[in-house]
Chains A and B, each alone.
Chain A
């Protein structure tokens, strides 16, 4: 009962009404590596850390969702290399390395757990499974290589030895070996599906068949002196003990092959091999490449601009005077200009009309730039002083005043349009988008995609820059989209969404009521009670770990030396991508302390906890109506949970 035949459907008929919008939607909207398929390689832009991954050393590539791990690993794969080298079969022999990509499939590895057998038995089963999987991966590569660049075949005695190692029976050539591995997997599948019956005979020794196979492959003429990479993506999907199994392979890999691992921050939970005393350490055992910390803001800006500009150039037909520089398409907005758009003129007219100020003060303020005049009044209110007093202070210490103004100017913008409808704060410009993305290329592409599509839908073109309000609206929508998606990202998704809604509201109110307080507070440290037994420590730590892993929060190391898997010694910040949605500062600035039980309270009892946290910061939530875009969550903020 097919409603539609995919091949007959007009593509994307409601999402993008013009071919250009459709192309934009594909080039920028397909921000997940898996959506781009083959085009992934054509659009690949080499990040600065890429050369490090090409070395024969084991590497662990750490980065949040959307930082480009999959893209990079797939571009290291033989399929990627082939595409990147122009699909020339002749060149295959010249490659210095051959990468084989393997994504850890949760749905498969999760079959290897349960109470029916002991963990030690699961380890044996899983070790055998990994042997089968990786051997099949290598055999697939050999078949592919023979097809594109024929060379020597595996020797009969090698095939026999590999077959014996896998308990596959007699195998004399690659083809037989491939069939044997597939048959073994089918039999093994049935055995795992009936694990309680313990039909496990002939399990291979962990790593042994792989070593034998790789030794044989490396001895082939066409691969002499070459290195083979196993590119294991989404390492976090392994169970803890499974990570130990694969860690063991990584630690004891043969000479001709190595592992490149892609994992989310905090996703590498076990650092030991199956020998509990054998810890994997960097740089002794592997090179750790932490994507976000490797890319400085400037590096990321350059990299992201290259990624976006390459996409812009692919749009056909190009409009006349098309702008190919994304930073020009997305102009920034200065603070004075922003104040103007936020209605500073109306504020000044109302302030004058209120007759709260004397003629002299009005005259002096009239001489100042509007935002500075606003700041004088803002400062006077926060310090419970008269405007005249503040103006005198200013006149008496212009340097001190300039510093203060510089510190608070940006923060003061958040209160200018407090409680009013429409845009309350602008988030526009390439540098701002770079900060919102915080090193995450997927977020950046989403921001650009939403901005450009909305721009075109509003009658703009790619030869004109995107207005600031459209950029801001796009940034809010991207924040909202990622907030709503958070619920589906992990098993703790609902809790993460609630945590974020709670924190977002706290920082939004603090941003709006910043007068008299430290400006731009948007980070926090978590204070755990002294008595660990009385605390909800485990739940809080799990929540924080998941929040960091799924990019609800960013974390930064303090001054202490820590175990990277620890959660306590870090400072946290709501990911800046959510700042436009909640309306607080996206810049990494000042921090506050939140108690562990308050953090849980934001999830379980948001209304009361938000009020409690804000009270401890001398703010009042009831004074602050929800911004328009948060109205959708009114029920959440009004409720107990």
Chain B
């Protein structure tokens, strides 16, 4: 098994976000959340006159609104036809999907459809400068990031129904919020020896992995899953993609149940793995409602060249997408 650092990483990282400019003639899809770091795209827009910026608004669990090139689209995310129609209409080759201000239920279907449409897909992510600490911290609740969770349900368009009876390995991609891990554990109910948590190392900041351990300490200890922890760079979907591949290789024939409850780049890596894995992968997501002041500031910008990962290789999940 090769170390991740020896495998290709299709990313560019910009320390300052004004160092980055989208590719000429591309489409750049973004959404604004209440977080400061999701607002940078306005500056890129003014500096990139050849790029069409599409703004996502009204993100619902099963649909979103997209304002692009003077047109407004209401897109249902569980519709391959509507998503393909979107790409047909914009008629470009390069698309950026800025996942910073988009919900999983928006960016994941957009990304999958763009890839299956054959576009050169790039994802963008801006790290926060810092996360909000809880004013009354308790074990598992050091940070104050989520308002509530809506509950476990598939990310729209990414439901897995096959292999219901196969044995599984549960892979929670950990963040700071121990209660989210506790919740998904309660839903999935894996046995202790079949849990392989993944922690973001290096983290966005050097101390973050320690916060992750602290926040998830109770569940890691009760299930004894801390024995099996693996690490993947917190801001790198490709590192995570490789790590998931390594896990699948170590436990052949088992379904990977991946819970993206940590960083968004890890969530992106999980979705990429869901699309490409030769075996079964189930994404287990708890759909948190994020707090408006959960982060402050904007730090590094990462651009992920997603299509490069797929160059020349068939994507298993695309074969099952019904044609219109």
Which A residues fall within an 8 A CB radius of B?
A: 1-4, 6, 9, 11-12, 15, 30, 32, 34-37, 103, 105-108, 110-111, 113-116, 129, 133, 136-137, 140, 182, 185-197, 199, 481, 484-485, 487-491, 493-494, 632-633, 635-636, 639
A-B pairs with beta carbons under 8 Å apart, 12 shown? A1-B231, A1-B239, A2-B243, A9-B227, A11-B224, A11-B227, A30-B192, A34-B189, A133-B164, A196-B82, A487-B141, A494-B179
| B117-136 vs A, Cβ < 8 Å mask (1 yes, 0 no) | 00000000000000000011
Q: Are A35 and B230 in contact, with the CB atoms below 8 A?
A: no
| B224-237 vs A, Cβ < 8 Å mask (1 yes, 0 no) | 10011111110000
Knowing that A32-B189, A107-B257 are A-B contacts, what are 20 other residue pairs whose CB atoms are under 8 Å apart, sorted by A's residue number?
A1-B231, A2-B231, A2-B243, A4-B230, A6-B228, A11-B227, A37-B191, A103-B189, A108-B159, A108-B282, A111-B159, A113-B153, A114-B156, A136-B165, A140-B165, A190-B320, A190-B322, A191-B322, A193-B159, A635-B135
For residue A69, give the distance in angstroms from its CB to the closest CB of chain B: 12
With CB as the reference atom, state the residue of chain B lying closest to A133: B164
Which listed residue (B149, B157, B190) contacts A491, Cβ 8 A? B149
> A190–B316 Cα gap in the complex (Å)?
12
Q: B311 on the interface (CB 8 Å rule)?
A: no
Q: Are B78 and A194 in contact, with the CB atoms below 8 A?
A: yes
For residue A147, give the distance in angstroms from its CB to the closest CB of chain B: 15
**Considering the complex, which residues of chain B in the window 260-304 have a beta carbon less than 8 Å from any beta carbon of chain A?**
282, 284
Given A106-B153, A107-B153, A35 and B138 touching (CB < 8 A)?
Answer: no
Q: Are B187 and A106 in contact, with the CB atoms below 8 A?
A: yes
Q: Are B154 and A107 in contact, with the CB atoms below 8 A?
A: yes
Given A37-B191, A114-B156, A137 and B165 touching (CB < 8 A)?
Answer: yes
Q: B324 on the interface (CB 8 Å rule)?
A: yes
> A636–B183 Cα gap in the complex (Å)?
21
Q: Are A487 and B228 in contact, with the CB atoms below 8 A?
A: no
Q: B23 on the interface (CB 8 Å rule)?
A: no
Q: B205 on the interface (CB 8 Å rule)?
A: no
Q: B182 on the interface (CB 8 Å rule)?
A: yes
> A424–B122 Cα gap in the complex (Å)?
61
> A15–B138 Cα gap in the complex (Å)?
22
Q: Are A189 and B160 in contact, with the CB atoms below 8 A?
A: yes
Q: Which residues of B contact A36 (CB under 8 A)?
A: 191
For residue B167, give the distance in angstroms from its CB to the closest CB of chain A: 10
Which listed residue (B150, B158, B230) contacts A3, Cβ 8 A? B230
Q: B214 on the interface (CB 8 Å rule)?
A: no
Which listed residue (A37, A105, A115, A194) contacts B322, Cβ 8 A? A194
Q: Are B190 and A494 in contact, with the CB atoms below 8 A?
A: no
Q: Are A35 and B191 in contact, with the CB atoms below 8 A?
A: yes
Which B residues fall within an 8 A CB radius of A?
A: 1, 3-5, 61-62, 76, 78-82, 135-136, 138-141, 148-154, 156-162, 164-165, 178-183, 185-193, 196, 201, 218-219, 221-224, 227-233, 239, 242-243, 246, 257, 282, 284, 320-322, 324
Q: Are A488 and B189 in contact, with the CB atoms below 8 A?
A: no
For residue B192, give the distance in angstroms from its CB to the closest CB of chain A: 5
Which listed residue (A114, A137, A639) contacts B136, Cβ 8 A? A639
Interface centre among A1, A6, A182, A485 (most CB of B within 10 A): A1
> A186–B317 Cα gap in the complex (Å)?
10
> A199–B78 Cα gap in the complex (Å)?
12
Q: Are B218 and A485 in contact, with the CB atoms below 8 A?
A: yes
> A5–B318 Cα gap in the complex (Å)?
33
Q: Which residues of A contact B76 (CB under 8 A)?
A: 116, 196
Q: Which residues of B contact A114 (CB under 8 A)?
A: 61-62, 78, 156
> A2–B186 Cα gap in the complex (Å)?
26
With CB as the reference atom, state the residue of chain B lying closest to A115: B62
With CB as the reference atom, state the residue of chain A lying closest to B136: A635
Q: Are B81 and A197 in contact, with the CB atoms below 8 A?
A: yes
Q: Are A484 and B218 in contact, with the CB atoms below 8 A?
A: yes
Which listed residue (B151, B196, B243, B321) contacts A190, Cβ 8 A? B321
> A137–B162 Cα gap in the complex (Å)?
12
Q: Are A633 and B154 in contact, with the CB atoms below 8 A?
A: no
Q: Are B243 and A189 in contact, with the CB atoms below 8 A?
A: no
Interface centre among A30, A111, A129, A187 (most CB of B within 10 A): A111
Q: Are A488 and B186 in contact, with the CB atoms below 8 A?
A: yes
Given A9-B227, A194-B79, A488 and B180 touching (CB < 8 A)?
Answer: yes
For residue B283, give the distance in angstroms from its CB to the closest CB of chain A: 8
Given A15-B221, A15-B224, A1 and B138 touching (CB < 8 A)?
Answer: no
Q: Which residues of A contact B219 (CB under 8 A)?
A: 488
With CB as the reference atom, state the residue of chain B lying closest to A2: B230
Which listed residue (A488, A632, A635) contacts B179, Cβ 8 A? A488
Which listed residue (A3, A192, A487) contacts B182, Cβ 8 A? A487
With CB as the reference atom, state the residue of chain A lying closest to B5: A1
Q: Are B181 and A494 in contact, with the CB atoms below 8 A?
A: no
Q: Which residues of A contact B223 (CB under 8 A)?
A: 35
Q: Are B182 and A488 in contact, with the CB atoms below 8 A?
A: yes
Q: Which residues of A contact B186 (CB under 8 A)?
A: 488-490
> A636–B178 Cα gap in the complex (Å)?
18
Q: Which residues of B contact A190 (CB under 8 A)?
A: 320-322
Q: Which residues of B contact A137 (CB under 8 A)?
A: 165
For residue B30, give the distance in angstroms from its CB to the closest CB of chain A: 23
Q: Which residues of B contact A1 (CB under 8 A)?
A: 3-5, 201, 230-233, 239, 242-243
Q: Which residues of B contact A199 (CB under 8 A)?
A: 322
Given A34-B190, A484-B140, A193 and B157 touching (CB < 8 A)?
Answer: yes
Which listed residue (B188, B232, B242, B324) contacts A107, Cβ 8 A? B188
With CB as the reference atom, state the residue of chain B lying closest to A193: B157
Q: Which residues of A contact B246 (CB under 8 A)?
A: 2
> A115–B81 Cα gap in the complex (Å)?
17
Given A12-B224, A110-B151, A195-B78, A187 and B232 touching (CB < 8 A)?
Answer: no
For residue B289, give the distance in angstroms from its CB to the closest CB of chain A: 10
> A487–B180 Cα gap in the complex (Å)?
9
Q: Which residues of A contact B180 (CB under 8 A)?
A: 488
For residue A489, give the distance in angstroms from its CB to the closest CB of chain B: 5
Q: Are B218 and A116 in contact, with the CB atoms below 8 A?
A: no
Q: Which residues of A contact B154 (CB under 8 A)?
A: 107-108, 110-111
Q: Are A6 and B193 in contact, with the CB atoms below 8 A?
A: yes
> A37–B192 Cα gap in the complex (Å)?
10
Q: Are A194 and B230 in contact, with the CB atoms below 8 A?
A: no
Q: Are B162 and A186 in contact, with the CB atoms below 8 A?
A: yes
Q: Are A484 and B138 in contact, with the CB atoms below 8 A?
A: yes
Which listed residue (A2, A30, A116, A189) contacts B162, Cβ 8 A? A189
Q: Which residues of B contact A110 (CB under 8 A)?
A: 151-154
Q: Which residues of A contact B243 (CB under 8 A)?
A: 1-2
> A182–B161 Cα gap in the complex (Å)?
10
Q: Are A108 and B136 in contact, with the CB atoms below 8 A?
A: no
> A490–B165 Cα gap in the complex (Å)?
25
Q: Are A111 and B218 in contact, with the CB atoms below 8 A?
A: no
For residue A264, give the distance in angstroms from its CB to the closest CB of chain B: 12
Q: Which residues of A contact B189 (CB under 8 A)?
A: 32, 34, 103
For residue B258, give the distance in angstroms from its CB to the closest CB of chain A: 11
Q: Which residues of A contact B138 (CB under 8 A)?
A: 484, 632-633
For residue B74, give the distance in angstroms from its CB to the closest CB of chain A: 11
> A162–B198 Cα gap in the complex (Å)?
43
Given A1-B243, A106-B153, A487-B140, A196 and B78 touching (CB < 8 A)?
Answer: yes
Which listed residue (B78, B158, B193, B227) contacts A4, Cβ 8 A? B227
Q: Which residues of B contact A186 (CB under 8 A)?
A: 162, 320
Interface centre among B141, B183, B233, B243 (most CB of A within 10 A): B183
Q: Which residues of B contact A105 (CB under 8 A)?
A: 164
Q: Are B182 and A485 in contact, with the CB atoms below 8 A?
A: yes
